[in-house]
Amino acid sequence: MAAYLARRLVGLALVLLVVCAVTFAIFYLLPSDPALQACGKSCTTERIDMLHEQMGLDKPVWQQFADYIGGIAGGRTIGTGELAVRCDFPCLGFSYQTNRPVWDLLLDRLPTTVSIAAGAAILWLLAGLSTGIVSALRKGSFLDRSLMAATLTAASLPVFFTGLMALYLVVQVAEWLPFPSYVALADDPAGWAQNLILPWTVLALLYAALYARLSRSSMIETLAEPYVRTARAKGLPERTVVVKHGLRSALTPIVTVFGMDVGTLLGGAIITESVFGLPGIGQLTMDAINKSDQPVVMGVALLSAFFITFFNVLVDLFYAVIDPKVRYA
Amino acid sequence: MTTLVTGTAVEAVPTTSWRRLTARIWADRGARVGLAIVVLFVLLAILAPVISAMTGNGPNDFHEDKINKALGGPPLGAFGGISSEHWLGVEPVNGRDLLARILYGARVSLLISLLATAVSVVIGTLLGLVAGFFGGWLDAAISRVMDLVLSFPSLIFMIALVSVLPSGDRMLLLILVIGFFGWPYIGRIVRGQTISIRHREFVEAARAGGQGNVRILLREVLPNLLAPILVYTALSIPANIGTEAALSFLGIGVEPPTPSWGQMLQKAMSWYQVDPMFFVIPGTCLFLTVLAFTLLGDAMRDALDPKGSH
């Protein structure tokens, strides 16, 4: 198990390094100059040259990349002269526009995004799985067909449409809830939940529909396996057959997708955050893109790539724990 | 959105049963409804200039007499200004005809999502075929690249790329970027299917008959993969419609004044309290198209699913 874990962690580091390199290439080889942005509108050629030198942009690309990686591993001082700034571990670059290290900006926004993603994930897992399982057990019944029609509808509704609909109906017309704003969990747990219930529901609706469809087909497929028939034939109670023999292996594809989805959302629930105006990583990304704050965009890209690959490894570890075949493959 | 596609294991089907398959798809009521909606929207998109000429409202004609300037620009009249002249009402502030903008927006949504799907399908099929058929280091390299692209946060990279790249032709850029992030999904499916049939008798026979690799790939292997490729294509169109709309919603879709549904929804966000019709109309169109393509794709998958588990 330790060897397997080590192998997966090395793999994770390698993937992240490549993601770093690709991200770096995209942002630093494309035609837009961070020095020009830091300098502002009335900018002389001499000043640009000086800024290039101070920001380290005159160095060869590989050198800049090495500095960047070094910064992530152990912090660094970016630039020289009047623009020198200290950027501590893990240094993901410095945002000249906000005058803060990218990592600090990310840390500010992370709680909001984690709150949105975690709450929604719990909701959609519960709703999606139970719908899928009930449908699979009553395959072909009226209940199954209605549930599947409902999930098909929900899966076709984009979050920004359901979000606006929810804001209009629940906040504007019925006045059941206030317009969502972020309240820290530690400050006021009830307010935190009350403000987030709308974003959670809207986001979870889409995913619950997708998970219901996925778990239904996975469950039906598993229940048709010979070993399930054997379990029934030897007289096990239906509950044991469904939960222990059916659900357990039907969960496999769902766990894979769940890891991917949570990883992706942690990198910014961009649409949800922008509909409800919540200050998470997604909104940070959009602000940074609108202001061409490249170091921030790059930091977000890396952070979310990290979450995606990290959750992939977690999912694989989970398999390794429940299925010895994986460990020795 | 990708979860729609994962977990659909579709086996290769001999081409001889195409007629039976189309019959089975046609027997599905959902598929017929889906097809009807798709045909309707495609026709509306094609006929956009004709319909717009009929009503006399171009997508960019301002109708300032149709809005309430005193209140800051909401449409005059009930339901977002629906009238005999403006069948779906008008846009707040400038009074542009919503019907015309919806029709021209349909062109953008459909064109971008269909072409982006084509890009993913072509790249994915080619690389998947090569990886599965030749195996060895080629397979290893292509599979690694697929894993890598899949571990990229695609929405963030799409946003970043579209906003950083020079936007000479925003539409082309969107097609290429959306298409690029979609190819590994189909690449994986094609690779798996290719591996499962590359040692089948008819492939061996063709090789024994002295046919070259390229010929075998195109004439023997590819025709047997058409079914899963088609199902994947049908299921990834709605996902791409959603992605295009999301990008437009975030303000990095096609550039105004060219209309798109996502962009209309973005504008509608600041009007949802006063003029809810402004978001309901493009939202409903988006919903119907995504639903219709999903119904079609589902029916195709069910018709091809040997276990009949759906």
d(CA A289, CA A296): 8
Is the pLDDT score of B127 beyond 70?
A: yes
User: Is B4 a domain residue?
Assistant: no
CATH number at residue B270: 1.10.3720.10
Q: Looking at residue A204, what is its pLDDT?
A: 95
**To the nearest whole number, what is the mean pLDDT of chain A?**
85
In this model, does residue B10 exceed pLDDT 80?
A: no
Q: What is the mean pLDDT of residues B4-22?
A: 58
Asked whether residue B2 is domain-assigned, the answer is no
CA angle at A20 for the pair A14 and A22, rounded to the nearest 5°? 105
| Lowest mean pLDDT, pick from A2-11, A148-157, A262-271 | A2-11
What pLDDT sits at residue B167?
67
Lowest-confidence segment of A25-29, A99-103, B102-106 by average pLDDT: A25-29
Q: Hunting for tokens 């032709």 — which residue is that?
A: B169
Domain A103-322: give its CATH architecture: Orthogonal Bundle (1.10)
- Nearest chain B Cα distance for residue A79, angstroms: 24
Q: Is the dihedral of CA B188, B190, B193, B197 positive or negative?
A: negative
Query: In the predicted model, is pLDDT for residue B25 greater than 60?
Result: yes
- CB-CB contact of A210 with B4 (8 Å): yes
Question: How far is it, in rounded angstroms, from Cα B181 to Cα B146?
Answer: 10
Decide if A310 touches B, using CB distance below 8 A: no
Instruction: Enumerate the residues of chain A whose CB falls inside 8 A of the CB of residue B148.
Output: 15, 18-19, 22
β pairing state of A94-95 and A100-101: antiparallel
Is residue B220 in some structural domain? Answer: yes
Q: Which of residues 152-191 of B touch A (CB under 8 A)?
A: 152-153, 155-157, 159-161, 163-166
- Residues in chain A closer than 8 A to B272 (CB atoms): 164, 167-168, 172
The encoded tokens of residue A115 equal 């709150």
**pLDDT tens digits, A201-223:** 999 999 999 999 999 988 998 88
Say yes or no to pLDDT of A54 above 80: no
- Six-digit token string for B128: 């998947």
Flag if A286 and B265 touch (Cβ within 8 Å).
Answer: no
Confirm whether B236 is domain-assigned. yes
Residue A114 confidence (pLDDT) above 90 = yes
pTM over 0.90: no
Q: Which of A165-169, A310-314, B56-60, B132-136 has the lowest mean pLDDT?
A: B56-60
pLDDT: which is higher, B280 or B54: B280
Residue B45: pLDDT over 50: yes
- Calculate the CA dihedral of residues A152, A157, A159, A165 and round it to 10 degrees: -120
Is the pLDDT confidence value at B266 over 80? yes
pLDDT tens figures, A157-202:
999 999 999 999 988 888 888 888 888 888 888 888 888 999 999 9
pLDDT(A126) > 90:
yes
Whether B12 is in a domain gets the answer no
Task: Indicate the SS3 state at residue B63.
Answer: coil
Instruction: For tokens 């459909």, name the residue.
Output: B110
**Residues 13..72 of A with a Cβ closer than 8 Å to B: which?**
15, 18-19, 22, 26-27, 30-32
Q: What is the 3-state secondary structure (H, E, C) of chain A?
A: CHHHHHHHHHHHHHHHHHHHHHHHHHHHHCCCCHHHHHHCCCCCHHHHHHHHHHCCCCCCHHHHHHHHHHHHHHCEEECCHHHCEEECCCCCCEECCCCEEHHHHHHHHHHHHHHHHHHHHHHHHHHHHHHHHHHHHCCCCHHHHHHHHHHHHHHCCCHHHHHHHHHHHHHHHCCCCCCCCCCCCCCCHHHHHHHHHHHHHHHHHHHHHHHHHHHHHHHHHHHCCHHHHHHHHCCCCHHHHHHHHHHHHHHHHHHHHHHHHHHHHHCCCHHHHHHHCCCCHHHHHHHHHHCCCHHHHHHHHHHHHHHHHHHHHHHHHHHHHHCHHHHCC
Q: What is the pLDDT of residue B3?
A: 38
Query: B165 lies in a domain?
Result: yes
Domain count, chain B: 1
At B238-255, the pLDDT tens digits run 999 999 999 999 988 888
Q: Is A11 on the interface with B (CB under 8 A)?
A: no
Rounded CA-CA distance A320/A7 in Å is: 13
Task: Say what the ipTM of the complex is.
Answer: 0.86
What's the pLDDT score for residue B295? 92
Domain housing B157: 17-55+80-308
Q: Where are the domains of chain A?
A: 33-91, 103-322
Which of A104-108, B55-59, B152-156, B198-202 has the least mean pLDDT? B55-59
Check: CB of residue A273 under 8 Å from CB of residue A262.
Answer: no
Point out the least confidently predicted range of A91-100, A146-155, A166-175, B290-299. A91-100
From first CA to last CA, the distance across chain B in angstroms is: 19
What local confidence, expressed as pLDDT, does residue A24 receive? 81
**Confidence at residue B27, expressed as pLDDT on a 0 to 100 scale:** 84
The pLDDT confidence band at residue A252, using thresholds 50, 70 and 90, is confident
Contacts of B262 in chain A (CB under 8 A): 160
Question: What pLDDT, on a 0 to 100 scale, did the predictor assign at position A164?
Answer: 92
pLDDT at B6 over 50: no
Report pLDDT for B153.
82
Give me the residues of B, 52-81, that contact A with CB < 8 A.
Answer: none
Please tell me if residue A179 touches chain B, with a CB cutoff of 8 Å. Answer: no
> pLDDT-based confidence at B8, cuts 50/70/90?
very low
Q: Which of the 8 DSSP states describes residue B76?
A: S
Q: Is there a domain that residue B72 lies in?
A: no
Question: Nearest CB to B156: which of A158, A257, A301?
Answer: A301
Lowest mean pLDDT among A20-29, A214-223, B94-103: A20-29
Across chain B, mean pLDDT equals: 84
Q: Is the pLDDT of residue B97 over 90?
A: no
CA distance A88 to chain B (A): 25
Provide the pLDDT confidence category of residue B306 given band limits of 50, 70 and 90.
low
* ∠ Cα B132 B303 B237 (to 5°): 65
Q: Please report the pLDDT score of residue A328 as a whole number.
A: 56
The whole-angstrom separation of Cα A272 and Cα A297 is 18
In a domain, B50, yes or no: yes
